[in-house]
Every structure is written in structure tokens, then in C-alpha cells.
Amino acid sequence: MVSDKRHALVIGGGFSGMFAANELKGRFDVTLVDAKEYFEYTPGVLRAYVKPGHYDALSFTYQSILERTMGIKFLWGEVTQLDGEKQIAHVKPMFSDHTEEVAFDYCVIAAGCTFGLFSKWGESLWAPTVNEGAIAESEWNHIDERFIEGRRRHIFEEHEKLAALNKKKANVLIVGAGFIEDKKEKDPKKRGPGGGGWIHVNKHLQVYKVNEDGSQSLWGNGHIFAIGDCNMVPELPPIPKISYPSEEQAAHATKNIKILDHLEHKGKSVGGCCGLGGAKDLVTTWWPWGAGMFATSLGPNKACFVLGAKSAPGTGHMVLWGKLSAIQKGLIESTKVNENKRGIIGSWGWHFVHHTPFMN
């Protein structure tokens, strides 16, 4: 049976992509595309390198959660081209030599970014290497991290390297401990870490293009949004590339998609009462208050929690530290993974973080 719902495409299944898919599934036919078969709780991956058995608590495969629990389509593959004019994504599915065309009415790009300073692909141990071009030139190209077992194997290999360094009490050089600098371009609004460019969006998170005369125009009829780590909002100070602001942007972008759907296709109104008095203007995104919160591990039993950090140096206050903060960090980790698996505790516990009026 053919659905009369509009089709929403979400590219990327990280924090913001999963949030966007969950927000849209009630009104749209949703397809989520990711180049790997699994979700990974990235903030906890360093613990997995030290204790590989912990990785199972940080990850799960997408298909059963997305298709059975959430009722949306999962496409395991790599987006090779996005045609804004035709509103078509060219996707190369896993185990296929050919690309498929996926048409959409609205698209959310939540592709993330990579931060490796010494790789043209931005490759680092923070995230799996999953793009075909990057895999071919990867430092660990004998492993295919598009598979969850490949990711586990890589974690075990790095664990053995760490154990060997620890055994011989080796000296370790740490490169970089603050903002990542790109010496080629001093303006972070133009260039991103690893030499790659940000996806530029307007204050509504709609992707725009710069014309030959320097003017700007919406790309894809204003139906394509970019959120989280992959974007840059020129009107705002640089936003930390962490889960909270990416999910906040997902909340803003999906609300704008619903408003556009109401205005263009007479879909259900957003806000108001009994379908009356709904929003007619797109939401303007902002620098989220939660973007200045950081829970940072200081070993297996210690951590610190910072509140109120801004883009200016020297801001923020450490309000919790030691074992209590380590417990707090563990609770955040377990409940966020549970939320993304659509578990009851995580879903209810985190729902109002991005759905409380006047706070977000």
C-alpha cells in the first residue's frame, strides 16, 4: 500500500540523527541511512579501549531498533551524492556495486565529522572509519569498521597496544588539548578540523549555497537541513561538537520541517490548540545553554563536571568532581544508550531535556 505521508530522509545515525528520526516518525515515512550497521556511544569509546568488554554497553545494531521498535526504514549504505534540485540522494548500499536513488521531501543531514589532524580523511581513534574512500587509505585498512565485529576487533587491537605501552612504562606524547586549529584557514566559519569544510546553514538550520556573486540562496528549496557536528551557523559563536547541542538542533530542525509541511501540504499544525493557532514562522536556532556542560573522565573512578562554559576562554565552573562525578557520567552513558534503543527509562528520563518550553 502506498503511503500518503511525505518522505523524510535522515543521513547519519548518531545522537542527532536518531533524535531527528524519532521526532519525525509520527508524521512522515522516515528512512535513516548510515554507512555502518551500529550505533556507538562515542563519549565512552576511550573506556572501551582500556576495557574492551565494556563496548557492548556502548553499542547496538540499528536494524532491529529502527525497523521493529521505531517503525522506520534503515538503509545500510553510503550517501555518495545529494541532489538538492531533484531532492534525491544517491546511496550505495552495503553489498552492492551500484547506487540507488532515494527521493525525499525533506532531508536532515546528521553526518557528523571527523577530527584527525594527521589524516586527510580526519581519521582518528575517536570514531570508526566507515567511508569507502577512507577505508582504502586507512591506517587500519585490514579491518572493516562498517561491521560491529570489525569495530570490536579494532578496539581489541588498540587495547593490546595500550597494554604493551603500560607494561614497559612508555612515555606518551599528547598532541592537542584544546581547540583544534587549522593553520590553512584561521576563520572556523570557513574551514573545519582535518581540512574539511563545514556545511553552512542559516539561522533555521537550512542548508544554503553561496552564488557566484557572493549572495546566498537556499539549497534544495529549503527542504534540506544540516545539524550537529557537520554544520556551522555563521550567526552564532562556535558551538561545541557534543551530543547535547546536536540534539537541540535536531529538535529545532524537525520542528521546522513540520512547520513547512503544514504550510506547504496542509499537514498537522505545530503548536496551538486543537489544530488552531499553530506556528507559521520557522524556529530560529540558538546557542543552547546545555552546550556548556561537560562531564569528563579522569580515570576509571574519577571525573569532573563543568557547567556554564561559553565560547570565550576561561568560562565555565567545575561544580562536581571525584567519584560522584564518575557515577554521574556512568548514569548519563547508560541512560543515553537506553534512550537511543527506545528504552522506557532513558526515553522518559531524557525527553524533557529538549521538550521543556522556555528552556530550549
The reported pLDDT for the residue numbered 131 is 92
Average pLDDT in the 306-334 region?
Answer: 90
Structure confidence by residue, pLDDT tens digits, 11-67: 999 999 999 999 999 999 999 999 999 999 999 999 999 999 999 999 999 999 999
Q: If pLDDT is split at 50, 70 and 90, which confidence band does 181 have?
A: very low
Q: If pLDDT is split at 50, 70 and 90, which confidence band does 178 have?
A: low
Question: How many Å apart are CA 90 and CA 99, to the nearest integer?
Answer: 6
pLDDT above 50 for 194: no
Give the total number of structural domains in the chain: 1
The verdict on residue 38 lying in a domain is yes
Question: How many Å apart are CA 292 and CA 313, to the nearest integer?
Answer: 12
The reported pLDDT for the residue numbered 280 is 80
The verdict on residue 338 lying in a domain is no
Task: Show the cell assigned to 356.
Answer: 521543556
The verdict on residue 261 lying in a domain is yes
Structure confidence by residue, pLDDT tens digits, 56-72: 999 999 999 999 999 99
* 246 vs 117 pLDDT, higher one: 246
The closest alpha carbon to 250, from 108, 97, 357, belongs to: 108
The verdict on residue 101 lying in a domain is yes
The closest alpha carbon to 262, from 253, 244, 243, 275, belongs to: 275
CATH of the domain at 28: 3.50.50.60
Domain that holds residue 56: 7-113+198-280
3 state DSSP class of 92: strand
Contact 152/158 with Cβ under 8 angstroms? Answer: no
**Average pLDDT of every residue of the chain:** 89
The verdict on residue 324 lying in a domain is no
Alpha-helical regions (H) of the chain: 15-24, 45-50, 62-63, 132-136, 148-167, 243-265, 323-340, 344-351
What radius of gyration do the chain's Cα atoms show? Answer: 21
The verdict on residue 344 lying in a domain is no
The reported pLDDT for the residue numbered 192 is 44
Query: What is the four-CA torsion angle of 177, 181, 187, 189, rounded to 10 degrees?
Result: -70
Structure confidence by residue, pLDDT tens digits, 256-277: 999 999 999 887 777 755 555 5
Look at the pTM and tell me if it is higher than 0.85. Answer: yes
pLDDT above 80 for 185: no
pLDDT above 90 for 332: yes
Structure confidence by residue, pLDDT tens digits, 123-134: 899 899 999 999
Give the strand order in the sheet containing 294-297: 294-297, 303-307, 317-322
The verdict on residue 179 lying in a domain is no
- Dump strand ranges (E) for 202-248: 208-210, 216-218, 224-226, 231-232
Q: If pLDDT is split at 50, 70 and 90, which confidence band does 188 have?
A: very low
Q: If pLDDT is split at 50, 70 and 90, which confidence band does 119 have?
A: confident
The verdict on residue 33 lying in a domain is yes
